[in-house]
Amino acid sequence: MMEIKILGGGCPKCHRLEAVTREAVQDLGLEARFTKVKTMPEIMAYNVMTTPALVVDEKVLSSGRIPSREEIKGWLAELTN
């Protein structure tokens, strides 16, 4: 099972990133566990300076923006191969 973390304080952009990522996971038929990382010390542990950020299986895939659904699907497909 894939471990997906959304890093951010819970702002609208963080919620949107989670929604788009959930859609991408569903499109690909993957199983994933989602976790929200909200505290600054936890976020800084990933060397992320701007949120929202997307972390999949402990790898930071994006930060400071909301990637497109297709972009996220491409990353997830690469990680599952």
Supply 59's token pair.
């790898």
Catalytic position from the list 3, 11, 35, 74: 11
Q: Is 75 a catalytic residue?
A: no
Question: Who's near 11: CB < 8 A, 6+ residues apart?
Answer: 51, 52
Catalytic position from the list 4, 6, 14, 61: 14
Q: Is 14 a catalytic residue?
A: yes
The Cα–Cα gap between 11 and 19 comes to: 13
- Annotated active-site positions, please? 11, 14
